[in-house]
A and B are shown apart, each in its own frame.
Chain A
Amino acid sequence: MSFDDVFMLFQSPVLSGFAWFFILTSIFYIARIHAHKAIYSFTRVIHNGLRLTAQSVRQAEKRMLERNKEVLLTQGREATEHIIEREFERINDTVQKDLSEYPALHRLLSEEITRINEDYQASTDVPPAPPGWAKAIEAVAKIPGSKGDTMVGNVLDDIHQSMIKANTRVTEEYRKTSHKRHQLLSGMMPHWRKVSQALAQVDKNINSLLLRSISIDRHMDEYENIQAGSERAMQRLSSSSLTQFFISAFVLLIAVGGAMINFNLIARPMSEMVGGTSQLMGFQTSEIAALVIILVEIAMGLFLMESLRITRLFPLIGALNDKLRIKMIWITFGILLTLACVEAGLAYMRELLMQDAAATRALLREDGVEVIASSYLWITTAAQMGMGFILPFALTFIAIPLESFVHSLRTVMGIVVVALLRSLIWLLRLTGNIARFSGAMLVNFYDLFIFAPLWIEQQFRFREKKPGRKEESEAVDDVQYGSLSRS
């Protein structure tokens, strides 16, 4: 039975169309109330379902936010603890160093002060004592009748001469002692300088400690903020984490570039060792071997950095006792050195292989062009060997940006997930509301399809409408349409 058999109720398609329209309109008009209810129920179910889903997602978003906050604060706390710990270690080093020097410094200062004191004592200005018999001269001079007495005069002249001589001698001696005093005073200068230098050193050390204590205070404030989970601390940590993420990602990209160059340096000569045709999982074994060497170098670099306690990706290595840790440093460094030597050798081999390949190609071309051995060829060979040797050590430092990247990645991933969840919530709410209002829209479309019987119904109602029955009629309308549409 084809569609035409069902559709063609009459010979004329137009007439059949009208007939079907009439039938369907009648059916839809009869089922109108139930259809409206079904449409509203369906859209309400969708709306409620999506609203509930949005609520669940909101809960997940809240949990994710809390987790992010927790992770951020924990990371911030650990980082600040690490910084404070380092500051205290530095203070400890300074104090230990200065305190160990303190007895020597004290002895130096005491000795210098004693010497200064002695010199000071020695340089005290002692005025020469006046001659004791000056008063006797005065007494002789006061003897009555001595004036004009030549004998007295002679005595006094003798005394005067003696006094001049004594004065000259004393003055000379005084000059000598003054000179010696000045020498002592000038000899004090180096001691003063030493004392001054020692005190300046003490002042410098004290200032350094003061600066460290200021730095610790600042970090302690940050630590307290983090402990309190303040908004400011959160913002600062979040911003710092994002910055760290982008910087470390950039540095890692550079490192990847270095690793690729390293790979190209050793992949070709590796085919000489492991064969150029064998494949593993669709890749050439020589390439996989080269990649493995580079990855082993990176792993050794990570262990070296861990053992040096520069990074903290593996707490187990950091927690090893110092003796074992130092052993590990030497072992990893030894392996790295060996791999660097291997790479340098491979780089040299690469150059040889390329020369051999070029010679063979030239021979096969048969164009008479000989491969000329350039005198500058050793420069490229040496450069390749140097790169082969240095790059493994350079790759060691990947550990530092890698640590930052891993730590900041947790935060960044958290932020991204929260953003995704928020977008999902928005999408769910939008879809829910669209579903909700599409119910009313579908009802209107439904009514549009059965506009003819509705119009007739309206005409009947209009004619039957009497003043006394107006309120009753409106109440019926309300029940039939209003209550549904308002729901």
Chain B
Amino acid sequence: MFKLKLPVFTFILLAILVLIASCSKDHVPNTRAVYMLMDTSGTYTKELKQAQRVINFILASLNPGDTFAVARVDTGSFSEKDIIARVTFDDRPSMANQQKRQFRDKIARFVKNVKGSAHTDITGGMLQAIEYLNEAGAGHNLILVFSDLKEDLKKGYIRDIPLQLNGVSVVALNVTKLRSDNVDPREYLDRLASWREKVESGGGSWKVINDLERLEGILSF
């Protein structure tokens, strides 16, 4: 009887180990990484209070282990210096709550003292976001672009670069209409279509949310 039981036991043990190994092999992290770009150019700085609300909403929705970074879009956004605040929440919920409070305070301080930039380099910000998200190694990646999507590059800046957005969701928030858009709405629509094309050709998914009261599903992947 013992001779029979030992191989059976060994087999079951091996099967369990194989199961665990197979689970860990194809394991996709269940964490989320969110990178938010805040346009600080020109008159859009007036909208930053709204951005702060969005940030607070995102903070309340994120869980321990998730990553969140907020960066400004200015003249040259492809830089770590433009990241205002970044955090990967601790495993422990109590610590994560503390980090959320600190993050909120940091953003509040920034919004209070922000100065508008002369140019708008959204593509540079996107490139920086992609780089950051790739380093974060989260299971689900999201880029939030809080901007009117009107890119205004400084002379000499080259941004005609394809974006590598495989598996990244891009959500444009509060895409306000400019005065020229009111004159010719096609400009606005073309701008949105251009960004959609840019994101989708890079392998990402594109979404626009202008009504900031409808942010509930923003983090559902």
- What CA separation (Å) do A283 and B161 show in the bound complex? 40
Interface residues of A in 264-297 (CB under 8 A from B): 268, 271-272, 275-282
Q: CB of A26 within 8 A of chain B?
A: no
B101: contacting residue among A277, A282, A363, CB under 8 A:
A363
* A278:B104 contact, CB within 8 angstroms: no
Smallest CB separation, A277 vs chain B (Å): 3
One of B33-41, B53-61, B75-83, B184-192 at the interface: B53-61
A374 CB to closest chain B CB (Å) equals: 20
- Smallest Cβ-Cβ distance to A274: which chain B residue: B91
CB distance from A288 to the nearest CB of B (A): 12
Provide the bound-state CA to CA distance between A272 and B104, in Å.
22
Nearest B residue to A360, CB-CB: B97
Which of B19, B94, B96, B101 is the most central at the interface, judged by chain A CB atoms within 10 Å of its CB? B94
Closest chain-B Cβ to A471's Cβ sits at a distance in Å of 72
- Residues of B in contact with A, size category: 20 to 34
Task: Tell me which residues across on chain A come within 8 A of B100, comparing CB atoms.
Answer: 360, 364
Tell me how many residues of A have a C-beta within 8 Å of chain B. 21
Is A67 on the interface with B (CB-CB < 8 A)? no
Stretch at the interface among B23-31, B118-126, B128-136, B206-214: B23-31
Nearest A residue to B64, CB-CB: A276
Q: CB distance A360 to B101 under 8 Å?
A: yes
Residues of A within 8 A of B60 (CB): 360-361, 364-365
CA distance A357 to B104 in the complex (A): 15
Q: Are A278 and B91 interface neighbours, CB within 8 A? A: yes
**Across the interface, do A281 and B19 meet the contact criterion of CB distance under 8 Å?**
yes
- Check B92 for interface membership: any CB of A closer than 8 A: yes
Task: Report Cα–Cα, A421/B31, bound state, in Å.
Answer: 51
Which of chain B's residues 68-105 have a Cβ closer than 8 Å to chain A? 91-94, 96-97, 100-101, 104
A219 to B57, CA, bound (A): 72
A279, B97: Cβ atoms under 8 Å?
A: no
Residues of B within 8 A of A363 (CB): 101, 104
Tell me if A271 and B19 are in contact (CB < 8 A): no
Q: How far is the CB of B173 from chain A (nearest CB, A)?
A: 17
Any A CB within 8 A of the CB of B65 = yes
Contact between B94 and A353, CB atoms less than 8 A apart: yes
A260 to B37, CA, bound (A): 43
In the assembled complex, which residues on chain A have CB atoms less than 8 Å from the CB atom of B23?
Answer: 281-282
> A276 to B91, Cβ gap below 8 A?
yes
**Closest residue of chain B to A353, judged by CB?**
B93
B56 engages A364 (CB within 8 Å): yes
Are the CB atoms of A271 and B27 closer together than 8 Å? no
Distance A271 CA – B96 CA, assembled complex (angstroms): 12
Which residue in chain B gives the minimum CB-CB distance to A272? B92
Q: Is A366 on the interface with B (CB-CB < 8 A)?
A: yes
Residues of B within 8 Å of A279, CB to CB, are: 27, 30
A281, A364, A366: the one within 8 Å of B20 (CB) = A281
Chain B residues, Cβ within 8 Å of A217: none
Does residue A356 face the partner (Cβ distance < 8 Å to B)? yes
Kindly report which residue of chain B lies nearest to residue A276, judged by CB atoms. B64
Q: B174 within 8 Å of A by Cβ?
A: no
A365: B residues at CB distance < 8 A: 56, 60
- Residues of chain B within 8 A (CB-CB) of A281 are 19-20, 23
Q: How far is the CA of A357 from the CA of B91 in the complex (A)?
A: 14
- Is the pair B93, A277 in contact by a Cβ cutoff of 8 Å? no
Of listed A271, A353, A364, residue having the most chain B CB within 10 A: A364
Residue B97 contacts which of A278, A356, A366 (CB distance < 8 angstroms)? Answer: A356
Q: Closest residue of chain B to A269, judged by CB? A: B93
Is B176's CB within 8 Å of the partner chain A?
no
C-alpha spacing A268/B96, complex, angstroms: 14
B117 within 8 A of A: no
B6-48 interface (Cβ within 8 A of A): 19-20, 23, 27, 30-31
For the complex, give the distance between the alpha carbons of A359 and B56 in Å.
Answer: 13
Which residues of B are found within 8 Å of A356, using beta-carbon distances?
A: 93-94, 97
Q: What residues of A have a CB within 8 angstroms of the CB of B101 in the complex?
A: 360, 363
Nearest 8 A-B pairs (CB), nearest first?
A277-B65, A275-B91, A276-B64, A364-B56, A360-B97, A364-B60, A281-B23, A272-B92
What is A's interface to B at a CB cutoff of 8 Å?
Answer: 268, 271-272, 275-282, 353, 356-357, 359-361, 363-366
Question: Can you pick out 19 interface pairs between chain A and chain B where the beta carbons lie within 8 Å of each other?
Answer: A268-B93, A271-B64, A271-B92, A272-B92, A272-B93, A272-B94, A276-B64, A277-B30, A353-B93, A353-B94, A356-B93, A357-B93, A359-B97, A360-B100, A360-B101, A361-B60, A363-B101, A365-B56, A366-B53
